[in-house]
Amino acid sequence: MSSVLASAENRLSSGVPELDRVLGGGLVLGSVVLLGGDPGIGKSTLLLQSLGRVNADVRTMYVTGEESPQQIALRAERLGVDGSDMLLLAETGVERIIDTAASERPRVIVIDSIQTLYTDHLQSAPGSVAQVRETAAQLVRYAKLSETVMVLVGHVTKEGALAGPRVLEHMVDTVLYFEGDRASSFRLVRAFKNRFGAVNEIGVFAMTDRGLKEVINPSAMFVGADHVDLPGSVTLATQEGSRPLLVEVQALVDRSPLANPRRLTVGLESSRLAMLLAVLHRHVGCALYDHDVFVSVVGGVRVFEPAADLAICVAIVSSLQNRPVPGDTLVFGEVGLAGEIRPVQRGVDRLREAQKLGYARALIPQGNVSRHLPAGIAVISAADVAGAIGLVFD
Ligand code: TYD
Ligand code: MG
């Protein structure tokens, strides 16, 4: 270990600050980044914009296997991307791609997409698991040997994991996924794995007619400024990487005609909902076995943090009783199986974010109460769910 010369990571900016943030401070030379996401979500757009904005003395190469060079050039023009220093290669044979890279020596290479590549050594079709694995392995080897940044685009396939980006996750240094509702304009890029930075860090973008624009104040985008009171609607402060994010959790509870009432979640884990319904029944006396329960996070954001528990519980009771929670109220807290509310990390940051956006009160875990809470936001706290529900609705 001590004989290995540990030189500082050599990073260069992707030209897109939100992307740099997700990467942990920029592209690391010799590293391989996988950018996954549904078709049409904006992967090609983001990477084209990024290549156009990296430093002028950094040679870049965009390898397209899906679109023709004319299509790419047309899009670059429309996006106002400066392509004068960008090599554009329409090629799907990985051996030819590596040969070209070795002679042209770009420092950043984008492969769009890995599913279109093939190697001469295998007979199977491009996009099959074997081809995706083998072509990626060759590109990874080249990136490490030549200190080149390799960005692989991977489509998430309809069938799920098969031959999608999942099969590559262990081979690459960084895995980023594009999230977002295609019907709306905003997009999240989230780090799922990062050997050079924190995971769960997110970058927030809006898709406009001139490509992806960075969103400076994402919370404002997800919750809106008007704080309306709606039954079943609760604002949650979630923590994504180093950044607090306010999102709206909505629940709809309705009498069910079905023998097995439906439990549906969008943007949340359904097993978590089942657990919270059991907690509400046992510890709050709120029986929902003859009700359908739908819970969603507005705007296509996905929240996996247990800190969402309390907001989900409050939203469900609010919908059941048809009584709104005041729209300027923020809620967060983890709920345990004993009905207790557990503290969550970085409570103060969450409160500060809410205060910035004009929230006047917050319901938080008792364990998060400290002397350092920001002034200007009225904090109520509870130690268990029954207490919290009582505070909100009685
Ligand atoms: P794209 O980057 O091609 O998606 P991916 O590479 O992930 O498949 O994005 C395509 C979508 O983005 C397409 O539906 C149109 C939209 N879009 C815009 O709204 N504005 C733009 O400036 C561009 C380039 C694309
Ligand atoms: Mg594309």
Q: State whether the beta carbon of 165 lies less than 6 angstroms from ligand 1.
A: no
Q: How far apart are CA 211 and CA 100, in angstroms?
A: 29
**Number of domains comprising the chain:** 2
* Band of pLDDT at residue 158, cut at 50, 70 and 90: low
Question: H helices of the chain, where?
Answer: 17-23, 43-53, 69-79, 94-104, 129-146, 218-223, 270-284, 309-321, 347-356, 385-393
Residue 203, token pair as written in the block: 């970058």
Q: Of the ligands numbered here, which is closest to the C-alpha atom of 75?
A: 1
* Band of pLDDT at residue 298, cut at 50, 70 and 90: confident
* Ligand 1 atom at minimal distance to the Cα of residue 79: 22
Question: Residues with Cβ < 8 Å from 51, sequence gap 6 or more?
Answer: 15, 60, 62, 81, 86, 108, 110
Strand partners, 266: 296
Q: Of the ligands numbered here, which is closest to the C-alpha atom of 112?
A: 2
From 34-48, 115-129, 178-192, 315-329, the region with the lowest mean pLDDT: 178-192
Looking at 182, 216, 250, which one is the last position of a domain?
216
> Is cis: bond before 271, omega within 30 of 0?
no
pLDDT mean across residues, the chain: 91
The CATH code of the domain that includes 338 is: 3.30.230.10
Q: Which domain holds residue 152?
A: 11-216
What is the reported pLDDT for 218? 82
* 301 contacts 266 by C-beta, under 8 angstroms: no
How far, in Å, is the centroid of ligand 2 from the Cα of 120?
24
| DSSP structure string for 262-316 | -EEEESS-HHHHHHHHHHHHHHH----TTEEEEEEETTS-----GGGHHHHHHHH
**Tens digit of pLDDT for each residue in 340-377?**
999 999 999 999 989 988 899 999 999 999 988 988 89
Looking at 192, 216, 240, which one is the last position of a domain?
216
3 within some domain: no
Task: Looking at mean pLDDT, say which of 180-184, 225-229, 243-247, 285-289 comes out highest.
Answer: 285-289
What is the reported pLDDT for 356? 86
**Tens digit of pLDDT for each residue in 70-100?**
999 999 999 999 888 899 999 999 999 999 9
What is the reported pLDDT for 7? 67
* Ligand 1 atom at minimal distance to the Cα of residue 210: 22
Is the pLDDT reported for residue 199 higher than 70?
yes
What is the reported pLDDT for 29? 94
* Ligand 1 atom at minimal distance to the Cα of residue 207: 19
pTM of this structure: 0.83
* Band of pLDDT at residue 301, cut at 50, 70 and 90: confident
Between 217 and 8, whose confidence is greater?
217
What is the reported pLDDT for 169? 92
* Band of pLDDT at residue 164, cut at 50, 70 and 90: confident
Looking at 160, 191, 216, which one is the last position of a domain?
216
Q: How far apart are CA 372 and CA 221, in angstroms?
A: 27
How far, in Å, is the centroid of ligand 1 from the Cα of 90?
19
Between 379 and 180, whose confidence is greater?
379
Question: Do 55 and 200 reside in the same domain of the chain?
Answer: yes
Question: Do 66 and 202 reside in the same domain of the chain?
Answer: yes
Between 166 and 272, whose confidence is greater?
272
Q: How far apart are CA 248 and CA 315, in angstroms?
A: 10
CA distances from 84 to 56, 61, 109 (A): 9, 11, 15
What is the reported pLDDT for 21? 92
From 36-40, 290-294, 298-302, the region with the lowest mean pLDDT: 298-302
Is the pLDDT reported for residue 167 higher than 60?
yes
Residue 263, token pair as written in the block: 């439990």
**Tens digit of pLDDT for each residue in 97-154?**
999 999 999 999 999 999 999 999 999 988 889 999 999 999 999 999 999 999 999 9
What is the reported pLDDT for 299? 78
HSE-CB of 23 using CA atoms within 13 angstroms: 25
158 within some domain: yes
Question: Do 245 and 320 reside in the same domain of the chain?
Answer: yes
367 within some domain: yes
The CATH code of the domain that includes 101 is: 3.40.50.300
What is the reported pLDDT for 163? 61
